[in-house]
């Protein structure tokens, strides 16, 4: 299930995560690690900064092997196997939603990024979308998000009065 965390905190599609190689992990000038890939579906370049939960997943799997630049980082698990496991876990936890590996991509777009103030244009780039309308299918603007945005606006307006 660590792999689902990998998608939830990177937004990568299943096929892209399964093809991830050590050579796809790059260090920026400030020392932070990024995933740099071309999406399997569209061949569009994607650059995603690695958040600490995603780094923990990479470290967990790299402890069991010494990968070379071209070795895939994760063990082969089919999408169907993963979805079956997620369904069982969801039932045990009383989650009524149909959990799938792809749902983690939507979670990244909405809960992890958009709800934490990442602009939708940035999310679109990280997901490898060419059209913002596609990203809008993934990143749902919820009532909570609208409330948070308006609260920020109110704070800015109040600060300008001072």
150-160 pLDDT, tens digit each:
999 999 999 98
Give the pLDDT confidence of 12-66 residue by residue, as tens digits: 999 999 999 988 999 999 999 999 999 999 999 999 999 999 998 888 877 666 6
Name the CA dihedral angle for 34, 40, 44, 50, rounded to a multiple of 10 degrees.
Answer: -10
pTM value surpassing 0.75: yes
Sequence length of the chain is 162
In sign, the C-alpha dihedral spanning 62, 68, 69, 70 is: negative
- What is the per-residue pLDDT for 2? 61
**153: Cα separation from own chain's centroid:** 27
Q: What is the mean predicted confidence (pLDDT) over 106-114?
A: 93
Distance CA 162, CA 158 (A): 7
What are the tens digits of pLDDT across the range 72-104? 888 888 999 999 998 999 999 999 999 998 998
Domains of the chain: 2-161 (1.10.443.10)
Name the band, by pLDDT with cuts 50, 70 and 90, for residue 3: low
């Amino acid at each position: 299930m660590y792999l689902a965390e990998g998608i939830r905190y990177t937004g990568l599609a299943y096929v892209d995560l399964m093809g991830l190689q050590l050579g796809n992990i790059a260090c920026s000038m400030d020392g932070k690690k990024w995933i740099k890939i071309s999406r399997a579906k569209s061949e569009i370049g994607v650059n995603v900064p690695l958040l600490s939960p995603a780094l923990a997943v990479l470290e967990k799997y790299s402890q069991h092997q010494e990968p070379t630049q071209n070795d895939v980082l994760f063990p082969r698990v089919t999408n169907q196997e993963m979805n079956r496991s997620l369904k069982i876990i969801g039932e045990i936890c009383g989650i009524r939603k149909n959990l799938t590996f792809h749902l983690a991509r939507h979670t990244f777009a909405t809960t992890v990024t958009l709800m934490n103030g990442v602009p939708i244009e940035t999310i679109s780039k990280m997901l490898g979308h060419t059209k913002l309308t596609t990203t809008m299918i993934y990143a749902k603007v919820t009532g909570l998000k609208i409330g948070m945005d308006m609260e920020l606006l109110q704070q800015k307006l109040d600060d300008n009065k001072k």
